[in-house]
Amino acid sequence: MIAVIKQGVPAAQVDNLVNWLETQNLTVHRSEGVYTTILGLVGDTTQVDIELLQNLEIVESVTRISEPFKSANRKFHPEDTVVDVSGVKIGGGHFAIVAGPCSVESEEQIIAVAKQVQASGATLLRGGAFKPRTSPYDFQGLAADGLKLLKEAKRETGMPIVTEIMNANHLPLFEDVDLVQVGARNMQNFDLLKELGHIRKPILLKRGLANTMKEWLMSAEYIMAGGNEQIILCERGIRTYETYTRNTLDLSAVPMLHELTHLPVMVDPSHASGINWMVKPMAMAAAAAGADGLMIEVHNDPKRALCDGAQSLTPEQFDDVAKRVRQIREAIKE
């Protein structure tokens, strides 16, 4: 529910209203514009007497919002959220490229790839250590050792690191991880999301394999309800009837989410297409659609990659993609 306060109402009177609403077990998000103050009421608003609120002298209007996501809703947080990942900003006009291998395989591999993608303009390094694989017989990642190698690459290059968490029990191992990724398969692992609401680290929340944008935003809401508001959404393709591509990249999610939420929206063209040569056009299209960043898989030797080699770019190919993406961003500047 949103309450718009009349222009020129003294702050003390707004404070009184906020205090009163809070006694009704509601959390109140206050957004102060130049002329208008808007109160976003989060909690069980079914108990709120809407007529009573509407008739208060200081209240201009009250609207019940139909969207069940409140904290993520742009309606009462009109400004873009800028997520700061250890100094790298994403959202609100700040664009960042996350690049690196699907999984960390060895010290040489992760450090070589880190240096190369950094030289091409990536500002965040990715690498899976806990890998969610469809088959239990496939490479499952180097787990804690993989995280150690990722940290080593961070020490070498100064790049903040991004890696996936699959189990909240692993959180102590993630202390030096700068951006914690929730993968598509865990987008609705509500216990994990609740735990991530209690930490104070940014979260990269990927879209579930077959989830709607509303369900995705509700997952962001789970994290935000715990007090962690540093969330980046990442579109990575959804399951459709199409089989030529690994998934179907839903680029309409970028403008739609920018309309619905203040959270930054990234795009992962690698998992979306599953095909090396499709990453470039899809990355360019994502930039043109206004994405706040990209996540791209890069491997120094894709043919021998232990995971997702078919969609991984060589460092040289990544360099070209990064250049083209910069050109697109330049071309669409208003």
Tell me which residues touch ligand PEP (CB under 6 A).
Answer: 102, 128, 132, 164, 183-185, 206, 236, 271
What does 202 interact with, of Mn ion, ligand PEP, none (CB < 5 to 8 A by kind)? Answer: none
**Least separation, in Å, of the C-beta of 239 and ligand PEP?**
11
Between residues 40 and 146, which has the closer beta carbon with respect to ligand PEP?
146
> Which is closer to ligand PEP, CB of 221 or CB of 308?
308
Considering only CA atoms, which of 125, 94, 73, 89 is closest in space to residue 291?
94
Q: Which is nearer to ligand PEP, 21 or 213 (CB)?
A: 213
Nearest to 59 by CA among 99, 102, 1: 1
313 binds, among ligand PEP, Mn ion, none (CB under 5 to 8 A by kind): none
| Between 132 and 255, CB nearer to ligand PEP | 132
Task: Find which of Mn ion, ligand PEP, none residue 53 binds, CB within 5 to 8 Å per kind.
Answer: none
Residue 262 or 271: the one with the smaller Cβ distance to Mn ion is 271
Tell me how far, at minimum, the Cβ of 284 lies from Mn ion, in Å: 20
Give me the least distance between CB of 68 and ligand PEP, in Å please. Answer: 24
Residue 184's binding partner, choosing from Mn ion, ligand PEP, none, with beta-carbon cut-off 5 to 8 A by kind?
Answer: ligand PEP
Report what 280 binds from ligand PEP, Mn ion, none; CB cut-off 5-8 Å by kind.
none
C-alpha distance from residue 283 to each of 245, 288, 294 (Å): 15, 9, 7
**Vertex 192, ends 226 and 305: CA angle to 5°?**
130
Q: Which residues pair with 63 in a beta bridge?
A: 2
Nearer to ligand PEP, 102 or 223 (CB): 102
Residue 74 interacting partner from ligand PEP, Mn ion, none (CB closer than 5 to 8 Å by kind): none
Pairwise CA distance, residues 129 & 141, whole Å: 5
* CA pair distance 115, 145, nearest whole angstrom: 20
- Numbers of helices and strands, H then E, in the chain: 10, 14
Minimum CB–partner distance for residue 183 and ligand PEP (Å) = 3
The minimum distance between CB 42 and ligand PEP, in angstroms, equals 29
Question: Which residue number has the CB closest to Mn ion?
Answer: 102
Q: Please, what is the minimum distance in Å from the beta carbon of residue 138 to ligand PEP? A: 12
C-alpha to C-alpha distance for 53 and 45, rounded to whole angstroms: 12
CB-CB contact of 213 with 253 (8 Å): yes
- Taking CB positions, which residue lies at the least distance from ligand PEP? 183
d(C-alpha 153, C-alpha 173), whole Å: 16
**Residue 91 per-residue DSSP state:** B
With contact defined as beta carbons under 8 Å apart, do 204 and 232 qualify? yes
Minimum distance of ligand PEP from residue 132's CB (angstroms): 6
Q: 128 Cβ partners below 8 Å, 6+ apart? A: 101, 102, 103, 104, 141, 146, 163, 164, 307
Partner whose binding site includes residue 148, from Mn ion, ligand PEP, none (CB under 5 to 8 Å by kind): none
Give the footprint of Mn ion on this chain (CB under 5 A). 102, 308
Task: Enumerate the β-bridge partners of residue 83.
Answer: 90
236 binds, among ligand PEP, Mn ion, none (CB under 5 to 8 A by kind): ligand PEP
